[in-house]
Amino acid sequence: MNIPENYDATPHSISVNTIIERYCLDKMYVPENIDKKIIDSAEVYRPGLQLAGYLEGFCPERVQLLGRTEMNFLGTLSREERQKRLDAYMHESIPCIIISNSQPVYDEIIKSARLKRVPVLRTYEGTAVFLAMLISYLNLELAERMTIHGELLELYGVGVLITGHSGVGKSETALELVKRGHRLIADDVVEIRKVSQTTLLGTSPEIIRHFMELRGVGIIDVKGLYGAGSVKDIDSIDLVINIERWDENKKYDRIGMEEKYTEYLGIQIPSLTLPIMPGRNMPILMEVAAMDFRQKKMGYNAAKEMYERVNRKFENNT
């Protein structure tokens, strides 16, 4: 895959303090170097085997989560054995240890954590709920990413990325779609994040979020003009629609049988091209494209249905 010029190859990380503030975690023990503690892996580790003494393959660079199972197991050990297991398990590379369900924290955990300067935190959330929330957040914040020029909107629950050359009318089309009740995610600059091997999420840089640039008018606040229901902070990228000026020498798909894709960060996204010419209502065409995409996801393809009907008609006549 050719890496585009706007590909962000910088490894991303977030501070442990960010996690503490976001999830209102209790600080059971925080070392002086807490500001230097960072998280650069989206994976969260539950150290069941490690507490039992098996340390081969252990990944200390991940956030460690201790649920009821791990804490109950530690409770079955004598104080001496518990301290021995925790000392063997504790590693200075651990970003932090989080204990779920507001469980009491053994003194041995704090003692061992002090020696290796590992933050010990606690949440009132259940293990499964907190694990899901944390992994989802880390996947988003640490995701591989790139930025492109375009518009991102939600049309009938479909994340539609509008691309095309500058001045072709992307912002004007997006504004009309917002006026028709759809939601704007990003104008002009779309930040794409790869959160899994099959999913791309799109958002806007925070500094320009909910704003739109219109030539001749200037900058407008979409949220202020059309209300909170007209915008959205982030959405999946399900369909790419490329706008281009009508080229009489180019053949455009009139049936819809040919499936085309656009690749971003190694993921293929269904795409189509809409040529602009006088008399074409681009917002309506995009609404129809989004609804047709939903139909296809539900297993119905109008083009294939018509093709099969025509074939059956010819077969019956012969």
Point out the residues that are catalytic. Answer: 149, 170, 188, 254
The three-state secondary structure class of 137 is helix
In 167-194, which positions are buried (b, 16+ CB within 10 angstroms) versus exposed (e)?
A: ebbbbbbbbbbbeeebbbbbbbbbbbbb
Question: Within 10 A of 152 (CB to CB), how many other CB atoms are there?
Answer: 29
With residue 246 as reference, give the H or E element that holds it.
none
With residue 111 as reference, give the H or E element that holds it.
helix 107-116
183 CB contacts (<8 Å, ≥6 apart)?
A: 153, 154, 229, 230, 231, 232, 235
Establish how many alpha carbons lie within 13 A of residue 204's alpha carbon, considering only the half-sphere containing its beta carbon. Answer: 20
Phi/psi for 317 (5° steps) reads -80, -15
Residue whose C-alpha is closest to residue 94's, from 26, 31, 21, 23: 31
Q: In whole angstroms, give the CA distance from residue 295 to residue 288.
A: 10
Confirm if 164 and 243 have CB atoms less than 8 A apart. Answer: yes
Confirm if 178 and 287 have CB atoms less than 8 A apart. Answer: no
Going by their DSSP bridges, the two strands 239-245 and 260-264 should be labelled as unpaired
Give 302's strand partners: none
User: Residues 49, 51, 54, 59: is their CA dihedral positive or negative?
Assistant: positive
Q: In whole angstroms, give the CA distance from residue 251 to residue 165.
A: 19
Give the residue carrying structure tokens 């009491």. Answer: 104
